[in-house]
């Protein structure tokens, strides 16, 4: 992240993390995939809420308005999956103060999407938090928070519609907000990418739900599941498993597949040039432009 007076530039690298640990090997092209997908989605949501992004000066770089982040992540869930399912499977029937109906099965759709916020930690784990706790503690001004809830649901419905057009199901996602120099609520970070969202393959969804089979999905959850299968969840005493060339290639292919499905564009391979030098040159050009 590079900060200027009223601007910010974010460089998306090929590093990948899960359970608050950076994995030992990068995923080739991941940064470029995520950066271009995030830009595409942000622009597609700009009619709902102002966005921080102004331009993409390099395939791995996004640049735009510097905002003061709101210290709450707005997690919205349309289906019982991931963290919500793990809680449910352990007997819990509420998450972040929001009730979950009895008798649900893994991957089943909620009657209505639910918002399950989390704190945005500077270090360590984010923590689930209820709406009541957010407002009573003064973490966020009530007027701003209610606006965040409204925008969150509108963004989620937009994301679900876009996913449906591409044969996917947007299961859950998170949104991050900030306040610009004038105090206007602004959508920051990335939206609807596989690092911030979970997608199922629509054509198999109903069949797998009826049969009680795991859903086919395109998301970073694939990485978490691989780590869990190999005995790692970031807990003390656990060791990060080795990543084979095959695992790295499979993760890369999933990122590219999701990019092509969601945008309808072919992912263009580029020569294995000196990426750091290219990024540096393009960032310098952008800096000169905003200073002129």
Domain 2-276 in CATH: superfamily?
Answer: ATP-grasp fold, B domain (3.30.470.20)
Selection from 154, 147, 146 nearest residue 173 by Cα: 154
Segment 137-153, tens digit of pLDDT: 999 999 999 999 999 99
Do the bridges between strand 109-115 and strand 168-179 make them parallel or antiparallel, or are there none, so unpaired?
unpaired
pLDDT score, position 46: 96
pLDDT score, position 125: 62
Task: Give the global pTM.
Answer: 0.86
Q: What is the DSSP string of 24-79?
A: SS--TTHHHHHHHHHHHHHHHTTTTS-BSEEEEEETTEEEEE--EEEEEEEEEEEE
pLDDT score, position 272: 67
State how far the alpha carbon of 218 is from the alpha carbons of 162, 208, 225, in Å: 15, 15, 12
Rounded CA separation 98/137 (Å): 18
pLDDT score, position 122: 62
- The pair of three-digit structure tokens given for residue 211, joined into one six-digit string: 């049969």
Angle formed by the axes of helices 30-44 and 245-263, nearest 10°? 20
Low-confidence ranges of the chain (pLDDT < 50): none
- The pair of three-digit structure tokens given for residue 187, joined into one six-digit string: 């959508």
Rounded CA separation 99/212 (Å): 23
State how far the alpha carbon of 65 is from the alpha carbons of 52, 69, 108, 189, in Å: 5, 12, 38, 11
* Cross-strand pairs, 118: 73, 128
Phi, psi (degrees; rounded to nearest 5) at 255: -60, -45
* Sequence-distant (≥ 6) Cβ neighbours of residue 242 within 8 angstroms: 24
- Residue 74 CB neighbours (<10 A): 22
């Amino acid at each position: 992240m590079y900060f200027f007076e009223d601007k910010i530039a974010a460089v998306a690298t090929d590093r990948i993390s899960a359970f608050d640990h950076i994995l030992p090997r990068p995923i080739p092209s991941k940064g470029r995939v995520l950066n271009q997908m995030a830009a595409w989605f942000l622009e597609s949501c700009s009619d709902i809420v102002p966005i921080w992004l102004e331009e993409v000066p390099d395939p791995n770089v996004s640049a735009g308005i510097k905002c003061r982040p709101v210290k709450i992540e707005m997690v919205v869930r349309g289906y019982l999956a991931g963290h919500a399912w793990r809680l449910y499977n352990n007997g819990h029937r509420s998450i972040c103060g929001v009730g979950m109906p009895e008798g649900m099965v893994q991957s089943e759709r909620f009657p209505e999407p639910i918002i399950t916020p989390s704190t945005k930690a500077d270090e360590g784990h984010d923590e689930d938090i209820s709406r009541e706790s957010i407002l009573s503690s003064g973490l966020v001004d009530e007027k701003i928070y209610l606006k965040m809830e409204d925008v969150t649901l509108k963004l989620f419905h937009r994301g679900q519609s876009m996913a449906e057009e591409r044969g996917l199901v947007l299961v859950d996602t998170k949104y991050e907000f900030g306040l610009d120099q004038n105090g206007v609520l602004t959508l920051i970070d990335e939206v609807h990418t596989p690092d911030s969202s979970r997608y199922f393959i629509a054509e198999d969804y109903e069949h797998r739900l009826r049969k009680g089979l795991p859903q086919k999905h395109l998301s970073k959850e694939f990485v978490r599941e691989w780590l869990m299968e190999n005995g790692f969840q970031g807990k003390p005493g656990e060791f990060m498993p080795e990543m084979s060339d095959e695992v790295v290639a499979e993760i890369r292919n999933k990122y590219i597949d999701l990019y092509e499905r969601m945008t309808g564009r072919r992912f263009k391979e580029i020569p294995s040039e000196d990426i750091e030098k290219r990024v540096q040159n393009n960032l310098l050009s952008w800096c000169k432009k905003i200073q002129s």
